[in-house]
């Protein structure tokens, strides 16, 4: 028989409390921020007791770090793992964000926490480093003369567009994409709209899966 627990209203619930807590954290932390989300509210949304929550996560700090780890563990696979786009097209696809895209959760958490040693801040740095690394590798595949420089430039553009979109409440990614196209074409010798690729090059640019 499956283990059962009692939720905050006394109703018995099945196993899966950890996933409900993480699901609630994804909703609340992204919608209203880390600091404004208390454990009481999070437990109510997850329908678990605080005792149960702390059995799965020893602290809110640990939960915030796990929330970020779960957000985009494969680092934008909807862009960088596409084989039907050329490397140049994949670089541009990183800027295909819907207008409703909220602030990058990694930026948001790092800004709110004000502690570079916080486990979530450390993971945010790791994630941003991983994004730049994937951009750099894709730039290398595209034939960029200085892929490390181009990767860092594009990573900075993505983060800047994310913050500007949130602050101004207006779409900044189209402008960032136009700047990115210039940077990419300047960095790739004899760049053309269609470069040799590992796929057939068909299809439109995807909307990235996960966060920035």
* Separation of first and last alpha carbons in the chain: 42
Q: Same structural domain for residues 76 and 55? A: no
- Both 46 and 128 in a single domain? no
76 in the same domain as 56: no
The percentage of residues in the chain with a pLDDT greater than 90, rounded to a whole number, is: 72
Of the residues 25, 60, 95, which one is the last residue of a structural domain? 60
- Residue numbers of the domain that contains 51: 13-60
* Residue range 14-73, pLDDT digits in tens: 459 999 999 999 999 988 999 999 999 999 999 999 999 999 999 999 999 999 999 899
What are the C-alpha distances in Å from 8 to residues 22, 55, 147? 17, 15, 53
Q: What is the band of 212 on the pLDDT scale with cuts at 50, 70, 90?
A: low
In a domain, 101, yes or no: yes
- Domain assignment present for 8: no
Instruction: Answer whether residue 116 is part of any domain.
Output: yes
> Quick one: pLDDT at residue 6?
45
* Residue 111 located in a structural domain: yes
The verdict on 147 and 170 lying in the same domain is yes
> Tens digits of per-residue pLDDT, 157-187?
999 999 999 898 888 999 999 999 999 999 9
CATH of the domain at 176: 1.10.357.10
Nearest C-alpha neighbor of 141 from the set 197, 180, 205: 197
Q: Do 143 and 114 belong to one domain? A: yes
pTM for the full model?
0.78
56/78 same-domain check: no
Could you tell me if residue 2 is inside a domain? no
Average pLDDT over residues 68-93: 95
98 and 77, same structural domain?
Answer: yes
On whether residue 201 sits in a domain, the answer given is: no
* Residue 22 belongs to some domain of the structure: yes
Binned at pLDDT 50, 70 and 90, residue 152 comes out as very high
The answer to whether residue 199 scores a pLDDT higher than 80 is: no
More confidently predicted of 211 and 108: 108
pLDDT tens track for 4-25: 344 444 444 445 999 999 999 9
Number of domains in the chain: 2
Let me know whether 101 and 137 are in one domain: yes
**Residue 136 lies inside a defined structural domain of this protein:** yes
Same domain, 107 and 164: yes
Average pLDDT over the chain reads 85
Residue 190 reports pLDDT greater than 70 = yes
- Final residue of a domain: which of 60, 80, 98? 60
pLDDT at 139 over 80: yes
Residue 12 φ then ψ, to 5°: -80, 140
Record the tokens describing residue 137, joined without a space: 């590798």
The per-residue pLDDT for 30 is: 87
CATH code (residue 23): 1.10.10.60
| Residues 117 and 155 both lie in one domain | yes
Rounded distance between C-alpha atoms, residue 40 and residue 53, angstroms: 10
pLDDT score for 7: 43
Mean pLDDT along residues 99-116: 87
Range with the poorest average pLDDT among 80-84, 154-158, 160-164, 200-204: 200-204
Rounded to an integer, the average pLDDT of 194-204 is: 47
Residues 113 and 90 in one domain: yes
| Same domain for 32 and 91 | no
16's tokens: 């899966």
């Amino acid at each position: 028989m499956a283990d059962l627990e009692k939720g905050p209203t006394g109703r018995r619930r099945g196993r899966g409390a950890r996933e409900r807590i993480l699901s609630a954290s994804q909703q609340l932390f992204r919608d209203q921020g880390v600091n404004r989300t208390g454990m009481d509210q999070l437990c109510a949304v997850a329908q678990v007791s605080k005792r149960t929550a702390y059995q799965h996560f020893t602290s809110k700090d640990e939960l915030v770090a796990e929330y970020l780890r779960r957000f985009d563990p494969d680092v934008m696979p909807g862009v960088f793992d596409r084989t039907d786009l050329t490397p140049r097209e994949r670089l541009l696809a990183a800027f295909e964000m819907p207008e409703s895209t909220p602030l990058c959760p990694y930026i948001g958490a790092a800004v709110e926490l004000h502690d570079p040693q916080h486990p979530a801040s450390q993971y945010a740095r790791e994630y941003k480093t991983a994004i730049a690394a994937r951009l750099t590798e894709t730039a290398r595949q595209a034939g960029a003369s200085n892929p490390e420089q181009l990767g860092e430039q594009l990573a900075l553009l993505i983060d800047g567009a994310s913050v500007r979109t949130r602050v101004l409440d207006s779409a900044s990614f189209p402008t960032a994409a136009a700047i990115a196209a210039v940077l990419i074409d300047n960095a790739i010798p004899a760049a053309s709209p269609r470069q040799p690729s590992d796929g057939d090059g068909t299809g439109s640019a995807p909307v990235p899966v996960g966060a920035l």
